[in-house]
């Protein structure tokens, strides 16, 4: 029976030792910083795609506005030339582009909003990582200074 209790005590001690190692604040802090850096890499990747979407939506919006202006010019030229049929067709095309314009504007606004949100997320992650690293360095310096003063007494 004593051998079994001894074995149980040894196993409990080993498990507690492993748990104590896992709860090491420095290791936990390092792991947390590594996780934040991984998240930051993902955010940077997403930022690139969101910025590309902003550029694309702006280009599509500008193209639609250019088409509206072009149809307006064609309509005026057709009326000046006396081609009312052509003027009506250009007016219809212009109306079609104008109907698409509000969707394109909404899409562009959504892309801008997303880019602002991801920029804020990026800035917050960078600030959090910097704060953790500076806190970690401060606690390391404090520990080193504490050990130095303990040996000088």
If one counts the domains in the chain, the total is 1
User: 149 or 138, which is more confident?
Assistant: 138
Query: What does the alpha-carbon distance between residue 97 and residue 74 come to, in Å, rounded to a whole number?
Result: 14
At residue 153 the predicted structure's pLDDT band, cuts being 50, 70 and 90, is very low
pTM above 0.95, yes or no: no
Establish if 112 belongs to a structural domain.
yes
User: For residue 56, what are the domain limits?
Assistant: 52-131
Establish if 23 belongs to a structural domain.
no
At residue 97 the predicted structure's pLDDT band, cuts being 50, 70 and 90, is very high
> Looking at the predicted structure, is the pLDDT value of residue 46 above 80?
yes
* 59 in Cβ contact with 141 (< 8 Å): no
Long-range CB contacts (within 8 A, 24+) of 43-51:
43/118, 43/121, 43/122, 43/125, 44/122, 46/118, 47/115, 47/118, 47/119, 47/122, 50/111, 50/114, 50/115, 50/118, 51/115
pLDDT, averaged across the chain: 81
What is the mean pLDDT of the segment spanning 28-43? 81
Establish if 34 belongs to a structural domain.
no
Establish if 27 belongs to a structural domain.
no
């Amino acid at each position: 029976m004593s051998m079994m209790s001894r074995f149980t005590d040894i196993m409990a001690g080993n498990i507690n030792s492993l748990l104590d190692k896992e709860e090491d604040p420095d290791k936990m802090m390092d792991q947390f910083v590594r996780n934040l850096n991984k998240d930051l890499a993902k955010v940077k990747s997403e930022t690139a795609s969101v910025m590309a979407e902003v550029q694309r939506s702006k280009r599509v919006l500008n193209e639609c506005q250019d088409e509206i202006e072009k149809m307006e010019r064609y309509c005026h030229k057709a009326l000046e030339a006396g081609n009312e049929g052509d003027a009506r067709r250009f007016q219809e095309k212009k109306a079609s582009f104008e109907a698409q314009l509000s969707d394109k504007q909404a899409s562009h606004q959504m892309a801008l909003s997303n880019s602002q949100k991801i920029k804020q997320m990026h800035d917050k992650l960078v600030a959090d990582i910097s704060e953790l690293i500076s806190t970690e360095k401060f606690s390391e310096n404090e520990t080193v200074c504490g050990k130095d003063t303990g040996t000088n007494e």
